[in-house]
Structure 1
Amino acid sequence: EALRDEIDRRERFLAMLSHELRNPLNAVRNASHLLSSGPDVVMAKEAVAIIGRQTHHMTRLLDDLLDVSRITRDRISLNLEQVDLRNVLDEAVEAVQPLASEGSVIIERDFCLEPVVIEADHSRLEQVVSNLLTNAVKYSNEGGRVTLRLEKNTSHATVLVRDKGVGISSEMLPRIFDLFVQADTTLDRSKGGIGVGLTLARKLVQMHGGSISAHSDGVGQGSEFEVVLPLVKKSSQGALARPHFRALVEKMPGRVLIVEDQYDNRSMLRAILELKGMQVLDAASGKEGLELVEAHRPEVAIIDIGLPEMSGYDVARAIREKYQDGIRLIALTGYGQQTDIKSALDAGFDHHLVKPLQPHKLYQLLNVKSDSRPAAN
């Protein structure tokens, strides 16, 4: 019986996953059709906004799927540092704010005034709170209100996420953190999701030495999620880590090399850089990339890892061997685990970016100012 239930859950999960991927793909396809249909500026802006939202949604789905795989194999690791939990919560609110604005949902913050110092992986803990806030916003009525509260005592910090939305039934509440379980299993999939976010949240909180629990008085009564985390003892507190994303170069580079075997990825990346006035060279293979380095000496090279014949690691090593630190190297890859980042740094890369690329992060690395424009001819 237990095995049959597990198989049924997995089958429902795969059906939900298919639906959740088809929906944004359909929106992107239709938006692409609009862009190719005519010069209507308003329509074009709406199409671009749709593509941006839906690709972000698909990225989150894929990230969740990868994390599910890591959880089932105990392959998730944490990069622990001392952080102020208030900063983590602020970033989570910022990440969820566009979704809240879309549904006219207000997110209220109620934080204690003094620093709340914990030992944590900043990005993973932000993922936990973002998941909880996303659920609270999605299942709130339009114009609703979500409260994010932070409290602390002498030994622990408590994060509370409250909403007055659809609530959780007494039958579902004990299973709400189980993998592939989702409260909404009807044909109405307007709320989205694939039923793994709370499982991820529980695992990550436990890895931080904390606990997470859910409370609800029933359907239509709203819900509350409580996360409890241990504080760092004052005698052990050091300098707080601050989120940072420093530029690799002192000024925006004039010449950049792209080494990427996929034509669409290469052409779009080229357009993103040329938009800011950079001279761009591109190559479809490692061998061709090294020839361009020899001929043109770019200041920065952005290199895909999964190249044919010669990997991006090999390209980086060859450049480092000949030019030492004279050329800044950025790895751009679909592989984003800690072991992948270490492999890139060991090969000589200065930084590691994970696909799909977020242009603003690349611009930060290249010291591109937000108002940069191509120089006039």
Structure 2
Amino acid sequence: MTQPLSMDFLSAGVARDASAPPRRSGFMGDSGGRCAGEAGNGPPSSDRAGRAVVWILDDSPLEAEMAARALAAAYEIEVFSDAAAMLERMTGGDPPDVLVLDQMMPGMSGSDVCSVLRSNPPTVGLPILILTVAGQEQDLVEGLTAGADDYVVKPCPAAALSARVGALVRSKRLRERAERAEQAAAVERDLLRALIEQSGVGIMATDERGVLRICNREAQRQHGVLGRSNGPEGPGGRRLLAAECCPPPLDDSPLERALRGERIENARWRVTRSDGSIRALAGTASPLRHADGSSAGAVLITRDQTDAIEAERALRESEERYRVIISALEEGITLQDAAGVIRTANASAERILGMSLDELVGSTTYGPFLRMLREDGSPFPHEMLPANLALRTGEPQSGVTLGVERRDGTIFWLSVNARPLHTADGAIAGVVTSFFDVTARRRAEEERQSLLSAAQAARREAEAASQLKDEFLATMSHELRTPLTAVLGWIRMLRTGKLSEDRREKALETVERNAQAQAQLVDDLLDISRIMAGKLRLDVQPIELAAVMEAALEVVRPAADAKGVRLEPLLDPGVGAVSGDAGRLQQVVWNLLSNAVKFTSRGGVVRVRLERVDASAEVVVSDTGQGIDPAFLPYVFEQFRQADSGTTRKHGGLGLGLTIVKSLVEMHGGTAHATSEGRGRGATFTVRLPLTAPSQRLGQRRRQSGLELPSGIEPRPELDRLNILVVDDEEDTRELVAAMLEQCGAHVTAVASTAEALAALRALQPDVLVSDIAIPGEDGYELIRKVRALPARGGGRTPAVALTAYARTEDRMRALRAGFNTHVPKPIDPAELLAVIANLARTTGGP
């Protein structure tokens, strides 16, 4: 902005000397007489639009006109004749580019005007050209002393005047250009200084002597001297890093090496600040050079790494703590990436899975080493495993129970949790899976549930048994008292001696019939007692079933005829022989026939059929009687069970007959079952007994072995080629059982302990297991529990027979609950044992 000139000097002019010589014409020639000037001496521009402005101050109109004419071609001219008027004009607007003034003027001389202009800031740099005359050197000196830039002595050629004015214009423009450049440089310096000060890195620069010239705020902060005037130069202002905690030798510091011309990158060092704290720095040092290549100093760019190093150290310590914690966890931990590849696992994972870290890392599944199972035993789909599901859905999976089958076939159970890992933008980066072994807990829960179920079942059985006992006792009381009533009554009447002959015969017949009924009741009770105690013995020998059935029919026929029930036998005499006790088998047929006659009304039919079905003899007894309620059909062979056990029942008996039938049939290696279409539609009882088929092969084996079966015991073809595992710690018993089975063609493996038995079971996969109960260490109950815990293909469903000297009912029930299929008491009846094994092999699908 232009500042106004001081008006105090307008009246301070000095009067022209009256004795001065007369004015001469100052300029020679016209504009045509201008000097073209040497190169660079002409006017700065001939363009009217951008021409310089020249003011002329001369009290002589003629000389002013001549000067204007000399300059008009190149400049914008404005002529003033009065100094005060010109100065006043200059206060109201911008000054000209050049002022041409006459030294010799009335009032204010040229020197006075120069003094006024040089004392005011807006015109202190205005180019001034003084016009003077020859011989007035004193005036010239005054003008130049007052501040004139140049002068012209009149008379002067117009070209010379124009050249002098042009030189002043050019000088002014060069000065203005330099000022603008300096201003721009100052702006750039300020901007650079601001950038350096606000930079997030430390910036330090030295001159060629190593004296610090630039040190921004960040560098001061890093060295702990923020706000100090002397900066972090060190002793004498020469060395920057003399106070480092563990510095390299002084001559080897990054800045010193840069001063020697080296460029140092990624240097690292520590600085001990004045407060004792230590900062870790990293930086780059570079040499600075002049245009001629000589050293201009060095610059050091530093970054404070302390916080990053501390954060990295804290992260390493945190990772190490978590690594120690994870390693110490009882839970197995695996980490998988976004592709499901296992990257690491802890020691518990190796222990639980039975796999090494090398086997785990790099795979996407635990297979083929392990097979995953659902709780129902079916394969667990790979894509539904908790880790894979978490990766696919991004949702955590918790409390998933899955089974794992190891390479050795054993199964253990895991509770699995899987939690996905997310990046900052929410993408799934991987999954962490944790799991722990719940096999023992699951087994305990299963055992608890099994015990609870067993206890509940036992309670129900006890309650049912109690009820059955009460009903049985009531029935037995009735069945005993009813015939006794007739017996006692007729005996008393016989004692009177007053009965007629016919009456006496009737009385004796009644007494005999009821006595036989009582005897049958006692026999049934004794039989069921022997069966339950395992003491019923069979006299086994080859028999023809047709003859046995004929004998039973003859016994039952009188009762059937008396009741009006027709017997229709259809017996195939060519069925073949069975191995059994003829008396007991007759008892079976007689019980079935008696039962059928009892429950068939007058005019009904009881059909009896004997035929061969495959390798068995089949006995079928069917009637047209009252039938069996479907709800009672599953219990028809249970002891003491009767479809009608109340006081209104129509038929007598203790309800033991069918129980005895089933027990005797099973002791012969056979099966018995009943069918009925319902009440009033009759019932059918079917018994199947294995036929004997003595083979030349079995006889040859007996001769080669030098051993024979006990007298009266026939070989069982059903045992031929069976693989049987015998477990007994008593060597004599073990060899006896093995010899009997080998005589029947079986392949026998005999061991003395539970551990040997389990190993043999896995290796041989036997068809039948025969085990003693009283084995030292782990007894037979523990053995069967371990067997039943195996998968089916590992032998978990192998049919098993318990051998024991404990023959009580509760011992038998305990063996069955533990997992044995049946129970044979000691001392062993060979025929019974062979029949039981043959029956097991047949019913479970042996070879």
TM-score if structure 2 supplies the norm length?
0.28
Equivalence for 2:594: 134
The aligned runs of 1:238-317 (5 Å cut-off) are: none
> 1:93, CA displacement in angstroms?
1.1
Distance in 1 between the 2:576 and 2:607 partners?
18
C-alpha distance after superposition, 1:313-371 (max 9, x if no partner): xxxxxxxxxxxxxxxxxxxxxxxxxxxxxxxxxxxxxxxxxxxxxxxxxxxxxxxxxxx
Q: Secondary structure of 2:570's partner?
A: strand
> 1:94, CA displacement in angstroms?
1.5
* Residues 1:23 and 2:508 are matched in the alignment: no
> 1:51, CA displacement in angstroms?
1.1
Q: Select between 37-46 and 86-95 the one with higher mean Cα deviation.
A: 37-46
Question: Does the 8 A contact of 2:617 with 2:689 survive in 1?
Answer: yes
Alpha-carbon distance change, 69 to 113 in structure 1, aligned in 2, over 3 angstroms: closer
Equivalence for 1:75: 535
Q: Secondary structure of 1:228's partner?
A: strand
Distance in 2 between the 1:232 and 1:190 partners?
41
Distance in 1 between the 2:472 and 2:480 partners?
12
Alpha-carbon distance change, 25 to 189 in structure 1, aligned in 2, over 3 angstroms: farther
**Structure with bigger gyration radius:** 2
Distance in 2 between the 1:34 and 1:149 partners?
46
Question: Does the 8 A contact of 1:105 with 1:144 survive in 2?
Answer: yes
* Residues 1:94 and 2:554 are matched in the alignment: yes
Alpha-carbon distance change, 118 to 23 in structure 1, aligned in 2, over 3 angstroms: same
After superposition, the CA RMSD in angstroms is 1.9
Equivalence for 1:8: 467
Distance in 2 between the 1:183 and 1:116 partners?
36
Alpha-carbon distance change, 154 to 5 in structure 1, aligned in 2, over 3 angstroms: closer
Q: Select between 182-191 and 199-208 the one with higher mean Cα deviation.
A: 182-191
Equivalence for 1:232: 692
Q: Secondary structure of 1:161's partner?
A: strand
Pick from 683, 703, 708 the counterpart of residue 223 of structure 1. 683
Question: Does the 8 A contact of 1:173 with 1:214 survive in 2?
Answer: yes
Alpha-carbon distance change, 39 to 17 in structure 1, aligned in 2, over 3 angstroms: closer
* Residues 1:144 and 2:607 are matched in the alignment: no
Distance in 2 between the 1:144 and 1:115 partners?
28
Question: Does the 8 A contact of 2:575 with 2:611 survive in 1?
Answer: no
C-alpha distance after superposition, 1:248-276 (max 9, x if no partner): xxxxxxxxxxxxxxxxxxxxxxxxxxxxx
Distance in 2 between the 1:234 and 1:75 partners?
28
Question: Does the 8 A contact of 2:553 with 2:590 survive in 1?
Answer: yes
Distance in 2 between the 1:153 and 1:106 partners?
26
> 1:234, CA displacement in angstroms?
5.3
Distance in 2 between the 1:90 and 1:97 partners?
10
C-alpha distance after superposition, 1:262-321 (max 9, x if no partner): xxxxxxxxxxxxxxxxxxxxxxxxxxxxxxxxxxxxxxxxxxxxxxxxxxxxxxxxxxxx
> 1:122, CA displacement in angstroms?
0.4
Q: Which runs of 5+ in 1 are unaligned?
A: 242-377
Distance in 1 between the 2:561 and 2:684 partners?
21
* Residues 1:163 and 2:643 are matched in the alignment: no
Distance in 2 between the 1:96 and 1:132 partners?
10
**% identical aligned pairs:** 38
Structure with the larger RCO, 1 or 2 (CA within 8 Å, 6+ apart)? 1
> 1:145, CA displacement in angstroms?
1.2
Distance in 2 between the 1:222 and 1:189 partners?
18
Number of paired residues?
239
Q: Select between 127-136 and 32-41 the one with higher mean Cα deviation.
A: 32-41
Equivalence for 1:35: 494
Pick from 105, 119, 122 the counterpart of residue 579 of structure 2. 119
Q: Select between 179-188 and 52-61 the one with higher mean Cα deviation.
A: 179-188
Letter aligned with residue 56 of structure 1: Q
Runs of 4+ deviating beyond 6 Å: none
Q: Secondary structure of 1:53's partner?
A: helix
Q: Which runs of 5+ in 2 are unaligned?
A: 1-459, 699-711, 713-847
Distance in 2 between the 1:192 and 1:86 partners?
29
* Residues 1:108 and 2:556 are matched in the alignment: no
Distance in 2 between the 1:174 and 1:107 partners?
27
Equivalence for 1:247: none
Question: Does the 8 A contact of 1:34 with 1:43 survive in 2?
Answer: no
Distance in 2 between the 1:14 and 1:127 partners?
24
Distance in 2 between the 1:27 and 1:177 partners?
31
Equivalence for 1:322: none
Distance in 2 between the 1:160 and 1:99 partners?
20
Q: Secondary structure of 1:165's partner?
A: coil
Distance in 1 between the 2:690 and 2:636 partners?
24
Letter aligned with residue 26 of structure 1: T
> 1:235, CA displacement in angstroms?
3.8
The aligned runs of 1:313-324 (5 Å cut-off) are: none
Q: Select between 183-192 and 43-52 the one with higher mean Cα deviation.
A: 183-192
Question: Does the 8 A contact of 1:179 with 1:199 survive in 2?
Answer: yes
> 1:102, CA displacement in angstroms?
2.3
The aligned runs of 1:197-208 (5 Å cut-off) are: 197-208=657-668
Q: Secondary structure of 2:642's partner?
A: coil
Letter aligned with residue 489 of structure 2: N
Equivalence for 2:510: 50
